[in-house]
Structure 1
Amino acid sequence: MPSPPPHSRTIRVLLVEDHDMVAEAICLALERSPDLRIVGHATSVASALTDARRCEPDVVLMDRRLPDGDGVTAIADLLVLMPDVRVLVLAGEGSGSVAARVAEAGGAGLILKARGLSELEDAVRRVAAGEMVFSQDLLGDVLGRLTGRVPSLGANLTPREREALQLLGQGHTTTEISDQLGVALNTGRNHVQRVLEKLGARSQLEAVTIARREGLLT
């Protein structure tokens, strides 16, 4: 699909990225384009919210994983502050579940860091022009999940199983999970086992890896 024509005005971009080398590369790439301007660089969700008020960007280019939270979860807070801002999530890895979460939260798209910087520039222009932009290898899965044709992985976890999964993600043992949930050890083991089964994992470590990839862990 051809790129939309360049904006008649400069697109103001707030970059939210906590890795200095990645941020520097993105800033250098975007600043080469006369129609793109980096108006701020935040390194956390909290600073992104503060800088968004101050900088008034057209596009927030938001890393998915930040020191104080999940960039996808932060979309709603940004839109409360600035209803017209376009939020493009930048991720090291992605899945249909995560991309669907971005769309459901009101984000403008998700692009993988492995993509070239020229593709990132194009994505910023397209979301500023009102498009939704997702990496091609995620797009079909996004549409399937949003329309309900493809169920989200982990959607059938019960609230108790979600609690157990969060505790697994924090590194707790099955005994500790049982204590935290206030249940007998056998009950705690059953919760953990059902989490593994529903995620298609063969071990607790694999379950945590899948959950992180799918955006199930906060």
Structure 2
Amino acid sequence: MPSPSPRGRPVRILLVEDHDMVAEAICLALERSPDLQIVGRSASVGSALAEAERCKPDVVLMDRRLPDGDGVTAITDLLALVPDVRVLILAGEGSGSVAARVAETGGSGLILKARGLSELEDAVRRVAAGEVVFSQEFLGDVLGRLTGRTAVLGANLTPREREVLHLLGEGRTTAEISAQLGVALNTGRNHVQRVLEKLGARSQLEAVTIARREGILE
């Protein structure tokens, strides 16, 4: 039997998920429990902010990747609109860096979709009760980042190198990047090489893959 809500009423949940079949499955699973209630659904960051302001949920269960933005980045805006809301990020894949970013921005946790619906139900209840919940494989990274024991990958990228990384993410070649930045081709190559070195990547494609996985690129 589920434990009663600490509020003496069902936990009010705003679900933010852009895949209809996934959203339906989550809604059906959560609403089987009398202590959990879906009070709103959204499929984008923009509509989630509007819905959160309208329905004042206890918990926002938000997909990390949405059509108009990053769910982790949206945490700050959600907390500004509903200061007491708890935000639980739901991700298809994740990393210690992303999990740490959730914690640093005021989120209440990150759980992987592969964990299953029963674990998701438990995570929602725990978050509503004031706990912070992260999938087990990310806990060490979250604690390390928050205590300063672990360096954040990509934190040492300069603004110019971040610009180069974003251009790599758009599929630009080194020649195109050099032209875009207005620098010589050799200078452009040096910028790209430094990005690869700082991310521990052996190729431009691997650098982009690492950056997306770590939440440096969205």
TM-score, normalisation: structure 1: 0.96
* 1:45-72 CA distance string (max 9 Å, x none): 0000111111211000011100100100
Q: Counterpart in 2 of 1:125?
A: 125
CA-atom RMSD in angstroms:
1.3
Q: Counterpart in 2 of 1:196?
A: 196
Q: Offset of 1:4 from its aligned partner?
A: 9.0
1:12 aligned counterpart, secondary structure: strand
Distance change (3 Å), C-alpha of 1:108 and 1:54: same
Separation (CA, whole Å) in 2 of partners of 1:15 and 1:213: 23
Q: Counterpart in 2 of 1:162?
A: 162
Q: Offset of 1:152 from its aligned partner?
A: 1.2
| Residue identity opposite 2:74 in structure 1 | A
Distance change (3 Å), C-alpha of 1:41 and 1:202: same
| Residue identity opposite 2:196 in structure 1 | L
Q: Offset of 1:21 from its aligned partner?
A: 1.2
Alignment gaps of 5+ in structure 2: none
> How many residues are matched?
216
Q: Does the aligned pair in 1 maintain the 2:2–2:33 contact within 8 Å?
A: no
Map residues 133-152 of structure 1 onto 2, 5 A cutoff. Answer: 133-152=133-152
Map residues 31-110 of structure 1 onto 2, 5 A cutoff. Answer: 31-110=31-110
Q: Counterpart in 2 of 1:113?
A: 113
Q: Counterpart in 2 of 1:183?
A: 183
Q: Counterpart in 2 of 1:6?
A: 4
Q: Offset of 1:180 from its aligned partner?
A: 2.0
Separation (CA, whole Å) in 1 of partners of 2:175 and 2:27: 47
TM-score, normalisation: structure 2: 0.96
Separation (CA, whole Å) in 2 of partners of 1:134 and 1:6: 22
Sequence identity percentage: 83
| Residue identity opposite 1:176 in structure 2 | E
Q: Does the aligned pair in 2 maintain the 1:6–1:125 contact within 8 Å?
A: no
